[in-house]
């Protein structure tokens, strides 16, 4: 009988099915990235070229003019795509088992966490599921995260698996985002929900006491 061809665990991740995070090939990817995280976190803020080179080794794709304050914590790294002009404050964490996509001109406050993996709900299934050959395995699955352009996340925001956040959104500090957020929304809370759409009424031109000597570009 012809032996059934083994599906690589990384392909299972992208297919949205159960995979074994302890698979040697996956562990090798993660170990490489975790070590690069350490390298980045040991740099000084003004070592811009060194930092940029390490980030290029970590993430799958990254645009221009991206700054990550550090420390940073990527899980796979290679599963993350970042657009242009990203700013990420302290303790930016991306558990990118499934793909994570971040658009252009996004700003993240301290301790923003993006999480894609999901574990079984029942404790006995978290401990073990059975592979086709009868061997016990510890398994999970993952859902991708998509973040649009021009988004701003306050401190301590957590984005959960499978969430899409539209262009131009503001996510309030401490929010736990468990569902999709439509474009141009101010959303906050745990679970995060839309507070109101962002409109002209939110312009800084209507807050002259805060705007001070500055003005809104016409």
**Predicted local confidence at residue 4, as pLDDT:** 55
119 catalytic? Reply is yes
Flag whether 211 is in a domain.
no
Question: Model's pTM, two decimal places?
Answer: 0.95
Q: Is 1 within the bounds of a domain?
A: no
Q: Is 129 within 8 Å of 146 (Cβ atoms)?
A: no
Q: Are 141 and 14 in contact (CB under 8 A)?
A: no
Assigned domain for 2 exists: no
The CATH number for 89's domain is 2.160.10.10
Say how many domains are in the chain.
Answer: 1
| Burial annotation 160-198 (CB, 10 A radius, 16+ → b, else e) | bbbbbbbbbbbbbeebebeeebeebbbbbeeebeeeeeb
Residue 216 lies in a domain: no
Domain that holds residue 62: 10-194
Give residues with Cβ within 8 angstroms of 117, minimum separation 6.
Answer: 21, 95, 97, 98, 140, 141, 142, 161
**Would you say residue 203 lies in a domain?**
no
Task: Count the Cβ atoms, other than its own, within 10 Å of residue 159.
Answer: 26
Q: Which of 105, 119, 146, 196 is an active site residue?
A: 119
The predicted pLDDT at position 184 comes to 98
Residue 90 domain flag: yes
Helix (H, G, I), strand (E, B) or coil at 95: strand
pLDDT in tens, the chain (218 residues): 344 566 799 999 999 999 999 999 999 999 999 999 999 999 999 999 999 999 999 999 999 999 999 999 999 999 999 999 999 999 999 999 999 999 999 999 999 999 999 999 999 999 999 999 999 999 999 999 999 999 999 999 999 999 999 999 999 999 999 999 999 999 999 999 999 999 999 999 999 999 999 999 98
Query: Does residue 5 lie within any of the structural domains?
Result: no
The answer to whether residue 153 is domain-embedded is yes
């Amino acid at each position: 009988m012809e032996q059934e061809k083994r599906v690589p665990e990384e392909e299972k991740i992208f297919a949205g099915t159960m995979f074994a995070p302890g698979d040697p090939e996956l562990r090798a990817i993660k170990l490489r990235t975790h070590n690069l995280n350490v390298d980045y976190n040991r740099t000084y803020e003004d070592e811009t070229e060194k930092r940029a080179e390490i980030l290029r080794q970590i993430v799958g794709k990254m645009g221009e003019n991206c700054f990550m304050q550090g420390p940073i914590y990527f899980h796979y790294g290679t599963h993350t795509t970042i657009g242009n002009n990203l700013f990420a404050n302290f303790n930016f964490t991306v558990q990118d088992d499934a793909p994570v996509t971040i658009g252009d001109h996004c700003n993240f406050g301290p301790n923003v966490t993006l999480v894609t993996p999901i574990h079984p709900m029942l404790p006995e299934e978290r401990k073990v599921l059975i592979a086709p050959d009868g061997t016990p395995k510890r398994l999970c699955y993952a859902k991708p995260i998509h973040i649009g352009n021009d988004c701003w996340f306050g401190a301590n925001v957590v984005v959960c698996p499978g969430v899409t956040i539209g262009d131009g959104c503001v996510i309030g500090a401490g929010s736990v985002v468990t569902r999709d957020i439509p474009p141009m929304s101010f959303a906050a809370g745990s679970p995060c929900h839309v507070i109101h759409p962002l409109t002209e009424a939110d312009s800084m031109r209507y807050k002259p006491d805060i705007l001070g000597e500055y003005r809104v570009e016409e």
